[in-house]
Amino acid sequence: MQILQDKNTEIISQIIDKTVIDAMESFISDADLNSVSSAALAIAGVFGNERDFSWLINDDESLKENAEKKLISSFHNNLQLLVQKTWVEKSDEALKEQVLERLNRCCEDVKAIDYVKSYESFNTVLHDVVYLMFGSQAKKDDFSEYALRIDPGFGIFWWYLQNLPQTCTWESYKIRLALLLGMFFLANY
């Protein structure tokens, strides 16, 4: 799978370094553990402090486990608050409640180290949260460009999310990193 190449590539390349675009390509297409880890660190540098993310791929299992628990908790609390505080149309109130319930389940699955099981539902929850935040604008063809222009950081996150496959057959380690990268951005958003 190749990363999305569209009219926003020019805008993206003005916001982030080519090495991050290359890292995204590598993250999506490589299977090698070291390549995927290096790519994840490069992407994490755009989402926040690369050093903070490095704790999640540390060789020390205890440090890695503690960093992951802290990230999941921060992500859960931040996203839950974001969804609760987002004003939605009356027709979307049920979706808002469903998203909160699915968010809880996703975080529980990740805590239980069931990354493969949580991947698709996590991806869906994030897309639904973006819909709740931006309404029908999020479904338009030009939403990527819109997101990049109104908030470049969020636009890069959306670019990341759009490049992830809806379903995947990746190894658990790579799925874990994909989930944690999404959490890492949203825990600090």
For residue range 137-156, list pLDDT tens digits in order.
Answer: 999 999 999 999 899 999 99
CA distance 114 to 91: 33
Q: The tokens of 137 are what?
A: 């604008």
113-143 confidence digits (pLDDT tens): 889 989 999 999 999 999 999 999 999 999 9
* pLDDT exceeds 70 at position 188: yes
Phi/psi at 53 (nearest 5 deg)? -70, -30
For residue 38, give every residue at least 6 positions away whose Cβ sits within 8 Å of its Cβ, in sequence order, or none.
23, 26
CA distance 116 to 51: 26
Q: Using alpha carbons, list the distances in angstroms from residue 83 to 71, 97, 125, 178.
A: 18, 9, 11, 21
Ramachandran quadrant class, 180 (left: phi over 0; alpha: psi -120 to 50; beta: rest):
alpha
pLDDT tier, 4 (very low <50, low <70, confident <90, very high otherwise): low
Contact criterion met (CB below 8 Å) for 153 and 41 = no
For residue 117, give every residue at least 6 positions away whose Cβ sits within 8 Å of its Cβ, in sequence order, or none.
109
Report, as an integer, the average pLDDT of 30-59.
93
7-26 confidence digits (pLDDT tens): 566 788 888 899 999 999 99
Report, as an integer, the average pLDDT of 51-78.
93
Of 154, 86, 95, whose CA–CA distance to 125 is shortest? Answer: 95
67-113 confidence digits (pLDDT tens): 999 999 999 999 999 999 999 999 999 999 999 999 999 999 999 98
pLDDT tier, 1 (very low <50, low <70, confident <90, very high otherwise): very low
34-46 confidence digits (pLDDT tens): 999 999 999 999 9
Residue 112: its H or E element = none
Contact criterion met (CB below 8 Å) for 169 and 123 = no
160, HSE (Cβ side, Cα atoms, 13 Å): 30
Of 150, 149, 160, whose CA–CA distance to 127 is shortest? Answer: 160
